[in-house]
Amino acid sequence: MNAGVIAVLLAAGRGTRMGALTDTMPKPLLPLQGRPILEHILLGLRTAGIHKAVIVVGYRGDQIERYFGDGAALGMRLTYRRQSIADGTARAVQLARAAADDQPFLVSWGDVVIEPSQYARLVDTYRRHNADALLSLNRVEDPWRGAAVYIDPDDRVTQLIEKPPRGTSSTPWNNAGIFICAPIVWRYIDALGPSERGEYELPQAITNMIEDKRDVRAMALDGFWSDIGTPEDLAVAQTAYTLVERFGSGVGRGRSSGADASVTNHEASRIEELVARFTQQHGQRPEFVARAPGRVNLLGEHTDYNGLPVLPMAIDRSVLMAASRRRDRLVTASNVDPRFADCCFEISDQITADVAGSWTNYVKAAAQGLVGNGTALKSGATLLIDGNIPAGAGLSSSSALVVASALTLLRANDATIDKMALAEMLPRAERYVGTLSGGMDQAISLLGQADHALRIDFFPLNVRPVPLPAGYGFIVADSLVQAEKAGIAKDAYNLRVIECQLACRVLEQALADERPKIHLSTLGDLVRLFPDRPLPSFFAPVLARLPDEPLPLARVAAVLAVDTEELRRILAIPTSLPDSFAIVRRLRHVLSEAQRVNQAETALRENDIATLGTLMNASHFSCRDDYEISCPELEELVELTRGAGAVGARLTGAGFGGCTVSLVADDRVSDVLAALDHGFYTRRSADPQACRFLFKARAGAGIVELTEDAATTPAD
Ligand code: GLA
């Protein structure tokens, strides 16, 4: 989805303070954790939905153009402009003007790296204020190096002082070098006069706007910030990225703040323990650890395989996979939890599955998916796995295992696949286990963002971060009813996928008068084919053809005027499934649920918590009554949490057991937890600590490099 903002990246300077490093290579191409500095910036922009960027190049610009090309490999559209004389940032921005059109534009210094999730925050903040310009801020003790920024309590910028003499500033904020500008800023850029150095500078244009009482706002960055001016800065940024990769967002701070990473995360000690255990078992340290989080879906249940949106969050429970590559193609995997037996298999073109329901099939699914996708996997790996996502609880422990396995095998073979491409590929790969699942779980595990839910659209895959409300938390509660989607819930899940496919066939017939020969590969095609029509309007034509009750296949075939066995064959309906297809109510759920996702996204962006709660409750009722995926224990949980003050509560994930998610104001959290403990868990002699938890939305999966000096030495 396009954020409606284009980026202008200023990458013309040589970066002379980098010394010999930039003798033959322009600074934006210097490697930071194995990727050019500029690539980190582009990837961060992409996760914020910014797909179009103009790169202003200068020193050795041809190398930059050759490296990134038109940007297609990164899922971006890139164009270039050349700035041959160093006449200032405003002049550089002017070069990009034609491409920026009349849109808002994000300007970033090409050597300022920030935590990737911050680009989305900037875009969100800009939209919320609808400001004339938004500046990013960095907290410093003394902003003598950059521009000191003074702000009022509403985050309005009241003053910007370029390079104040050291020790004279009385604000803790300096300009972090990333701006979002409304088109009005062009007027100020065009009117600029030269500075004392004869240059034309963007901050001066902003200063003039402030003097003109324009609405200039500021947003403080969270997490790390680094402007890479010297080799030491590069090392600092390297550490920051390693920490984010290792522990998720918000743990590292840039050089200017002076603070070091204050890691409190439980995952850090899990990683250390896992590494120690691997070392003990295999006589050598693992080369790296892959981390893939589980997820909680906020809204949009059973919409993903229908090509309709979902709104999940990655959580702070994860699969950790310590690994070393092997010289042969064997994969040997063991789990620190002795309930999961060791496994060993060889990577080949056709990997034989283990008995249905076996955890090892998820590792095999990843290997088979990569091989089938044409990835050369010459090396196997030795794996030791530690997971703390409860299995069969609807929190996607299985997809996290697939994601961790795929990242591990890629890394062990020095292969890379862009995360978006991987998120598109892995759902197909996971079908190896026999469930016809959609693509939500893999996408959120890979692409999740700290403090955000992710709106995910499918076919093609598109993600858009949605900020979570301050002052509220999400509580997950386990119903203690296991619903392993490759196990007992498999048939019930697959049946619903088929019922939705049958709904497509009936709709094709019902819409034939308006659109002859229409083909719906999923219900989501309705959005593309009829963009102006609300989804729930497609319900009536189906209800006019079928009664709202479970029907035998022969009855559906008669309505469609096709042979029953032919219909079974076309839709690959296994004879093992019950001959009972509840098409009308399934359709009612899916159409209304997709609409609720749209409404929930708006509610979140507008901080309308009451509406969000109502939508969560409505989703639950629809899951219970129309999709028939609830159970008495889930009902008990949602009623308990609502009764104790939750704003909204619903089952999450595939259903048939698993967990609920409740939206709770911070000051009601303890009431809700107490209600769960006394009303549900103690009565079942279950340990509440193990069954319910408050979580923070976390960043998606990644590789944690373990080389001793990896965190401090720039990669090359
Ligand atoms: C499971 C599947 C997902 C999705 C959910 C229900 O988690 O793996 O693809 O269909 O159920 O929303």
Ligand 1 mutation target, pool 313, 428, 441, most atoms within 8 A of CB: 441
Query: Which residue CA neighbors atom 8 of ligand 1 most closely?
Result: 437
Determine the 3-state secondary structure of 66 from DSSP. helix
pLDDT of residue 149: 94
Chain segment 536-546, per-residue pLDDT in tens: 999 999 999 99
pTM above 0.75, yes or no: no
Spatial distance between the Cα atoms of 387 and 381, rounded to a whole number of angstroms: 18
C-alpha of residue 431 to centroid of ligand 1, in Å? 12
pLDDT of residue 517: 86
Ligand 1 mutation target, pool 298, 433, 440, most atoms within 8 A of CB: 440
- Angle of CA points 33, 230, 225, to nearest 5°: 60
Spatial distance between the Cα atoms of 175 and 216, rounded to a whole number of angstroms: 13
Spatial distance between the Cα atoms of 361 and 353, rounded to a whole number of angstroms: 6
The candidate with the shortest Cα–Cα distance to 15, out of 62, 67, 58, is: 58
pLDDT of residue 98: 86
Ligand 1 mutation target, pool 302, 431, 589, most atoms within 8 A of CB: 302
Query: Which residue CA neighbors atom 10 of ligand 1 most closely?
Result: 302
Contact 173, 179 (CB under 8 A): no
Chain segment 415-464, per-residue pLDDT in tens: 988 889 899 999 999 999 888 899 999 999 999 988 899 999 998 899 99
Per-residue pLDDT band for 1 (boundaries 50, 70, 90) equals: very low
pLDDT at 676 over 70: yes
pLDDT of residue 336: 95
Q: Which two tokens stand for residue 100?
A: 């920026």
Which atom of ligand 1 lies at the shortest distance from residue 430's CA? Answer: 8
Query: How do beta strands 452-457 and 173-181 pair?
Result: unpaired
Contact 307, 625 (CB under 8 A): no
C-alpha of residue 286 to centroid of ligand 1, in Å? 33
Which atom of ligand 1 lies at the shortest distance from residue 437's CA? Answer: 9
pLDDT of residue 265: 53
Per-residue pLDDT band for 713 (boundaries 50, 70, 90) equals: very low
Which atom of ligand 1 lies at the shortest distance from residue 396's CA? Answer: 7
pLDDT of residue 550: 97
pLDDT of residue 711: 30
Q: What are phi and psi of 431, to 5 degrees?
A: -65, -10
Q: Please classify residue 527 by burial: count the beta carbons closer than 10 Å to its beta carbon, then call 0-12 exposed, 13-18 middle and 19+ buried.
A: middle
In this prediction, what percent of the chain has a pLDDT beyond 90? 70
Q: Which two tokens stand for residue 184?
A: 């009005």
Q: Catalytic: which of 132, 386, 441, 478?
A: 441
Per-residue pLDDT band for 708 (boundaries 50, 70, 90) equals: low
C-alpha of residue 394 to centroid of ligand 1, in Å? 8
Per-residue pLDDT band for 6 (boundaries 50, 70, 90) equals: very high
> Which of 108-117, 174-183, 310-319 comes out lowest in average pLDDT?
108-117
The candidate with the shortest Cα–Cα distance to 573, out of 585, 597, 556, is: 556
- Cα-Cα-Cα-Cα torsion 497, 503, 507, 509, nearest 10 degrees, comes to 110
Which atom of ligand 1 lies at the shortest distance from residue 398's CA? Answer: 8
pLDDT of residue 35: 84
Which atom of ligand 1 lies at the shortest distance from residue 305's CA? Answer: 10
Q: Please classify residue 494 by burial: count the beta carbons closer than 10 Å to its beta carbon, then call 0-12 exposed, 13-18 middle and 19+ buried.
A: buried
pLDDT of residue 243: 64
Chain segment 364-374, per-residue pLDDT in tens: 999 999 999 99
pLDDT at 164 over 90: no
pLDDT of residue 264: 31
Q: How far is CA 414 from CA 290, 410, 617, in A?
A: 14, 6, 46
Ligand 1 mutation target, pool 437, 619, 661, most atoms within 8 A of CB: 437
Q: Which two tokens stand for residue 681?
A: 């868990």
Chain segment 221-270, per-residue pLDDT in tens: 877 788 888 888 887 777 777 666 655 543 333 332 222 222 235 777 88
C-alpha of residue 408 to centroid of ligand 1, in Å? 23
Spatial distance between the Cα atoms of 673 and 650, rounded to a whole number of angstroms: 16
> Using DSSP, how many helices (H) and how many strands (E) does the chain show?
23, 25
Spatial distance between the Cα atoms of 50 and 43, rounded to a whole number of angstroms: 9
Spatial distance between the Cα atoms of 247 and 318, rounded to a whole number of angstroms: 11
Chain segment 144-163, per-residue pLDDT in tens: 777 899 999 889 999 999 88
Pocket residues for ligand 1 (CB within 6 Å)?
A: 297, 301-302, 304-305, 396, 437-438, 440-441, 485, 653-654
Spatial distance between the Cα atoms of 328 and 375, rounded to a whole number of angstroms: 16
pLDDT at 712 over 50: no
Spatial distance between the Cα atoms of 81 and 83, rounded to a whole number of angstroms: 7
Query: Which residue CA neighbors atom 2 of ligand 1 most closely?
Result: 437
pLDDT of residue 245: 60
Which atom of ligand 1 lies at the shortest distance from residue 440's CA? Answer: 9
**Residue range 592-607: mean pLDDT, rounded:** 97
Chain segment 334-345, per-residue pLDDT in tens: 999 988 999 999
Helices (DSSP H) in 145-249: which residue ranges? 184-190, 202-211, 231-247
C-alpha of residue 301 to centroid of ligand 1, in Å? 7
Contact 51, 76 (CB under 8 A): yes
pLDDT of residue 698: 87
Query: Which residue CA neighbors atom 9 of ligand 1 most closely?
Result: 438
Chain segment 491-522, per-residue pLDDT in tens: 999 999 999 999 999 999 999 988 888 999 99
Q: Which two tokens stand for residue 86?
A: 């160093």
Q: Which two tokens stand for residue 252?
A: 């590292």
Query: Which residue CA neighbors atom 5 of ligand 1 most closely?
Result: 654
Q: Which two tokens stand for residue 362?
A: 């998820």
Chain segment 54-85, per-residue pLDDT in tens: 999 999 999 999 999 999 888 889 999 999 88
Contact 470, 609 (CB under 8 A): no
C-alpha of residue 600 to centroid of ligand 1, in Å? 19
**Residue range 699-709: mean pLDDT, rounded:** 75
Which atom of ligand 1 lies at the shortest distance from residue 493's CA? Answer: 11
pLDDT of residue 3: 65
Chain segment 639-669, per-residue pLDDT in tens: 999 999 999 999 999 999 999 999 999 999 9
> Which of 149-163, 351-365, 481-495, 598-612 comes out lowest in average pLDDT?
481-495
C-alpha of residue 490 to centroid of ligand 1, in Å? 11
441 catalytically annotated: yes
Query: Which residue CA neighbors atom 11 of ligand 1 most closely?
Result: 654
Contacts of 149 (CB under 8 A, 6+ apart): 135, 137, 143, 157, 159, 160, 171, 173, 174, 175, 218
Q: Residue 348 corresponds to which amino acid?
A: S
Determine the 3-state secondary structure of 434 from DSSP. coil
Does residue 706 or residue 531 have the better pLDDT? Answer: 531
Mean pLDDT for all residues in the chain: 90
The candidate with the shortest Cα–Cα distance to 600, out of 587, 591, 589, 613, is: 613
The candidate with the shortest Cα–Cα distance to 656, out of 396, 427, 441, 394, is: 394
The candidate with the shortest Cα–Cα distance to 398, out of 370, 426, 369, is: 426
pLDDT at 217 over 50: yes
Q: Which two tokens stand for residue 382?
A: 């030795």
Contacts of 555 (CB under 8 A, 6+ apart): none
Spatial distance between the Cα atoms of 102 and 128, rounded to a whole number of angstroms: 19
Query: Which residue CA neighbors atom 1 of ligand 1 most closely?
Result: 654
Q: Which two tokens stand for residue 17?
A: 């303070």
C-alpha of residue 376 to centroid of ligand 1, in Å? 29
C-alpha of residue 476 to centroid of ligand 1, in Å? 17
pLDDT of residue 573: 94
